[in-house]
Amino acid sequence: MAIHCPACASENNRFSSRYQSKRASFLSVNDLRECKECHLVFAHPMPLDGELEQYYSTQYPDIFLSTFSNDVVRFPVQLAQSRIGLLGRYMPMGDGEKILDVGAGNAVFGKVLKGMVPDATYDAVEPD
Ligand SMILES: [Zn+2]
């Protein structure tokens, strides 16, 4: 059965390394594979939904997901503001722009972006 890259769907990928959990997370994952087309390294098989739910419900405090005015998230918010400012030098950042955030993590960049440019369209990809 072919293994598809979760980002570009290519079947052209190779074994990269065995996956070794450091915190007994994602025990269903056996290997890390590298896509030969887009070079994304991805888990194979992908973590189970229950493993992802467990990870995200214990790794990030709720406040991280609900607000960006707290000290806990000051640094990623400032980093996102800096990145948006940098991007603004090279591309228009006005209303109606379409932004794709590859590797969005918990989407702090998107939250800050929507605060600065409310009518921008924000899409996120988080292959993990
Ligand atoms: Zn790929």
State whether 69 and 49 are in the same domain: no
Max Cα separation, the chain? 47
Q: 0.85 cut: is pTM over it?
A: no
Tell me which H or E stretch contains 63: helix 62-66
- pLDDT tens, residue by residue, 74-97: 788 888 999 988 888 888 877 678
State whether 79 and 46 are in the same domain: no
- pLDDT tens, residue by residue, 98-108: 889 988 888 88
Residue 6 lies in a domain: no
Of 25, 41, 57, the residue that ends a domain is 57
Distance from Cα 122 to the centre of ligand 1, integer Å = 21
Which residues does 114 contact at the CB level (< 8 Å), separation at least 6? 120, 122
Distance from Cα 70 to the centre of ligand 1, integer Å = 36
User: Quick one: pLDDT at residue 16?
Assistant: 95
The pLDDT-based confidence of 54 (bands split at 50, 70, 90) is: confident
Q: Which range of residues forms the domain containing residue 94?
A: 62-125
Distance from Cα 102 to the centre of ligand 1, integer Å = 12
The pLDDT-based confidence of 71 (bands split at 50, 70, 90) is: low
User: Quick one: pLDDT at residue 63?
Assistant: 46
Distance from Cα 12 to the centre of ligand 1, integer Å = 8
Question: How far apart, in whole angstroms, are the C-alpha atoms of residue 127 and residue 7?
Answer: 7
Residue 8 lies in a domain: no
Distance from Cα 44 to the centre of ligand 1, integer Å = 13
